[in-house]
Structure 1
């Protein structure tokens, strides 16, 4: 006698998997939803907000989100592994303060910029060591270093501002490509995005990041160096924040200890809006780029409509909450909905015996 087969098993075995499932999954994913929301936002703002649909304003929008995009790229990798770094804005501020201090001390910017990048990598390594070696949760660690690095920025530069950087450098930070309204920094962002995208989606390293975020114990048993991987990701995030700090300082022509205060919320909101799961193991870089642009488009439209900065912070907070709550609601709705092609199991009763096959 062959093993007993239930009606559900038989139906599931007989029904072939639907074709085009991968395509439908991509079209129904959060990444496509974010890109669709970005398109709707741009269209609505173009009709409703005066001055939005101009090339000059598009250039300003890119400049406005450039620092967020630079930090969001390595932050995406960190969040995919199930960790988070809330100290990035403070790292940016400390980098700006050190940059101003070294400039006042007489060092050339050709020397200052590499030193600032090394500083950011060291600050990221401190976070990484506390998480991977000491075994502390990244949320608690980076909340602490967020306050620590911001405090060190005030120790380095105090309440003063350094604003006499060479015009050639400040002009290059906000300069446009010849004959266009596209800022030059867009090229840097595209190169970094391409590198991170290839790493995440086309290499074994990227697959290991998803494995770590899904189940770090299983990833460790499969031979993935979980600790080292997370450590280097924190180093990359610190270096990215330092690069954003250099750009921020030159963009606004001012080195201050309070530069980019609160920017970490915008970075996290953009990453989560882009479809990266806060619990790790899920997400794609195109969605993150869409999240950065969506956040920037909304803020830019509200600024053109003379909305106060407090309202902009409220909108950012609402988007951050929505990006965390919405995936959970969608997942619960999907769990309640029966799977297509598989009829619900019928209760076993004496009047209706299960079908069996005789050998």
Structure 2
């Protein structure tokens, strides 16, 4: 028997059947992990399978996932926005100022969305017009936006939002199905279609893989990136509306640290941190996985600082794992 006959053969991805490709995909692995976590939580806590508790668990990820969908497209294009949590703080503060001036619910929602859109436009202009690195720009605006909130509020807080405003963060559409979860599901479908079924989505992938080649092929790279920053800002504004509505108050420290969880959610969902690849279904599954993990740890009375350590380790792990796997396959 020859050496070639004894050597295990690797089947190239392009030769796999569609079913084989799906079974060995990152999304399938992540789904299996999510099912495992669900089973573990069911056995670990008698309160986990309560319908209302599971409904409350969705609040652990819906607001973050709204931003993660837009962030996924931005990272696929080769950029990133680390100011999203600060945008939430500034948008929430702007809504509080509007509320103090007597604005009703429709105006408050428009103020929150508009503030997020303006912040996204500011980030996008600095990156696309001045050619500055997005990671540097958004680290700067992260401090800028939250600093403005602290200047306006100091140690204080805005309270007394209209009762109708609470519908966005505390309302239910049917039984245990929350308004936030419905918004999350609708956005998942919209972003999934945009990224995977439209020319715009194909342009995002092309830019992330080779921005120079995309430019020479006729794609208006800066325009696409500007749209993505606007989308990320708009989704941050929407998350601010939902989070402020759910909490019923605004503090300058609102959403602190949320940018880490959002980036972790995106990367855990299979989006390449260097750009060029990723999927919305992966981000959706990652959102559920992270929600199940944090909710399960909460039921087990695990301190918040331990959860933060876990999120940090998870981010490092999902970034390092593909590289370690590639190194192993080459050896």
Maintained 8 Å contact 1:98/1:156: no
Which structure is larger by alpha-carbon Rg, 1 or 2? 1
The Cα offsets for residues 277-324 of structure 1, whole Å up to 9 and x where unpaired, read as: 001011111110111111111111001100111101011111111111
Secondary structure of 1:177 counterpart = strand
Is 1:187 matched with 2:182?
Answer: yes
1:78 equivalent among 67, 74, 78: 74
Paired residues in the alignment total 322
TM-score norm. by structure 2 comes to 0.93
Is 1:108 matched with 2:104?
Answer: yes
2:225 counterpart residue number: 230
Secondary structure of 2:160 counterpart = coil
Maintained 8 Å contact 2:94/2:115: no
Deviation at 1:16, TM superposition (A): 11
CA distance in 1, matches of 2:12, 2:197: 29
- Unpaired segments of 5 or more residues in structure 2? 5-10
Maintained 8 Å contact 1:98/1:157: no
- Unpaired segments of 5 or more residues in structure 1? 1-7, 9-14, 337-359
2:23 counterpart residue number: 27
> Which aligned segments of 4 or more residues in structure 1 are displaced greater than 6 angstroms?
15-18
Deviation at 1:158, TM superposition (A): 2.3
CA distance in 2, matches of 1:35, 1:77: 21
* Closer, same or farther: CA 148–315 of 1 in aligned 2, 3 Å: same
* Closer, same or farther: CA 18–91 of 1 in aligned 2, 3 Å: closer
* Closer, same or farther: CA 45–106 of 1 in aligned 2, 3 Å: same
2:306 counterpart residue number: 311
Deviation at 1:332, TM superposition (A): 1.8
2:172 equivalent among 170, 173, 176: 176
Deviation at 1:27, TM superposition (A): 1.8
CA distance in 1, matches of 2:13, 2:290: 38
Deviation at 1:175, TM superposition (A): 2.0
TM-score norm. by structure 1 comes to 0.86
1:352 counterpart residue number: none
CA distance in 2, matches of 1:231, 1:172: 28
Q: Within 5 A, what are the aligned runs for 1:231-310?
A: 231-310=226-305
Q: Within 5 A, what are the aligned runs for 1:1-359?
A: 20-178=16-174, 180-336=175-331
Give the CA RMSD over aligned residues: 1.8
Q: Going by fraction, where is helix more abundant, 1 or 2? A: 2
Deviation at 1:64, TM superposition (A): 2.1
